[in-house]
Amino acid sequence: MAEPVIVGVVNATPDSFSDRGDRSTAGSIRQVEQHLEDGAGIIEIGGESNVTNRPAVTPEEEIERILPVVVAAAAAGAIISVDTYKPAVAAAALESGAAIINDISGGGNLELMGVAAEAGAGVVLMHTVVEPKTQRWDEAAYPEGITAHQVRFFEERLESLAEIGIRRDQVVVDPGPDFGKTPAQTVDSLRGLPELCGLGCPVMLAVSRKDFIGAINHRRPSERAPGTFAALAFGLDCGGRLLRVHDVAGTRDFLQVWRALRGESEVDPALRIADEIRREPPRDAAGSPNPAATSPEDV
């Protein structure tokens, strides 16, 4: 079974739905460095948010946002994916060191896919029935069942990609949580992950901070870490292996415990917890940690 790979998201855009951090070029480069330090195997850089209440940015502006970040990530030795549906942006990113194009438009733009094919790049093929930066909630959208619809969608797309020289082993499949789906449809699509894994392509779990989680537990994006880890655990057990996340360090910690409990990593019988992390230190009157107040009897 393939090892899970953490894909660290870097939003080089001022209007991300889920990220309130420093979105300047320098801030995005720092985030690349932090993601790599925290254990990301792939860095995914995006220059346009998919929020539906903002107009699309031009290819020129998107390139200006992402290119310095792509160059810095390449210099750091990162494997780079770029989240875009614009051929010019994809071409610029691939020329600057990117290796993967994550197409949120669903792989139907053959000009974009042709750019990836010419470069020999990998492709993330995301399921969607709506144009980028649009949303549609229609409970009757998938009368045959969403999993059956997605299997047919991906098979048709994989055939069209093969015709332009993109092999199946270059493609990652993403069920597209929230894209053209109600929260309930997203849940149904994730329940169908075992069938999507049967397509023979790696499956990406792009569930981090998504709306379906917030709809279930009534949490804002910044409060959706527990729901994200639950969705990742479910998806991993179904066969998903690429974890597209905002919280790389938290996902690394989650995976360490998940692997240990499944017997996929060795747990030394002599393993013990260090005293300095076994308990939280007492706090002083101002509420700050006061390690000096800890006595041997407290551990």
Q: Which of 86, 181, 210, 224 is catalytic?
A: 210
Q: Report how far residue 245's alpha carbon sits from residue 232's, in angstroms, rounded to the nearest whole number.
A: 10
> And the tokens for 103?
């197409």
Looking at residue 84, what is its pLDDT?
Answer: 96
**Cβ pair 61, 13 in contact under 8 A:** no
pTM, whole model, 2 decimals?
A: 0.90
Angle between helices 183-191 and 225-238 (to 10 degrees): 30
283 in any annotated domain: no
**Cβ pair 168, 201 in contact under 8 A:** yes
Q: Which of 209, 244, 252, 283 is catalytic?
A: 244
Q: Report the CATH number at residue 13.
A: 3.20.20.20
Judge whether 244 counts as a catalytic residue. Answer: yes
Looking at residue 16, what is its pLDDT?
Answer: 56
* Element at 252 (helix H, strand E): helix 248-262
205 in any annotated domain: yes
Q: Report how far residue 81's alpha carbon sits from residue 100's, in angstroms, rounded to the nearest whole number.
A: 4
Expressed as residue numbers, the domain containing 114 is 5-271
The helix/strand/coil state of 65 is helix
> And the tokens for 85?
């549906």
Q: Report how far residue 123's alpha carbon sits from residue 164's, in angstroms, rounded to the nearest whole number.
A: 13
294 in any annotated domain: no
* Tally of domains in the chain: 1
278 in any annotated domain: no
Looking at residue 299, what is its pLDDT?
Answer: 38
* Element at 10 (helix H, strand E): strand 5-11
Judge whether 210 counts as a catalytic residue. Answer: yes
Q: Report how far residue 71's alpha carbon sits from residue 108's, in angstroms, rounded to the nearest whole number.
A: 28
- Cα→Cα distances 216→135, 140, 188, 259, Å: 19, 20, 13, 26
186 in any annotated domain: yes
> And the tokens for 240?
């998903």
- Cα→Cα distances 10→35, 106, 182, 205, 226, Å: 9, 21, 26, 16, 20
59 in any annotated domain: yes
Looking at residue 292, what is its pLDDT?
Answer: 59
> And the tokens for 20?
């309130």
**Cβ pair 122, 100 in contact under 8 A:** yes
Sheet of 42-46: strands edge to edge?
A: 171-174, 122-126, 100-103, 80-83, 42-46, 5-11, 242-245, 204-205
54 in any annotated domain: yes
299 in any annotated domain: no
End-to-end CA distance of the chain: 40
**Cβ pair 9, 208 in contact under 8 A:** yes
Q: Report how far residue 108's alpha carbon sits from residue 180's, in angstroms, rounded to the nearest whole number.
A: 15
Q: Report how far residue 254's alpha carbon sits from residue 249's, in angstroms, rounded to the nearest whole number.
A: 9
Instruction: Give every residue of the chain whose pLDDT is below 50, as ranges.
Output: 295-299
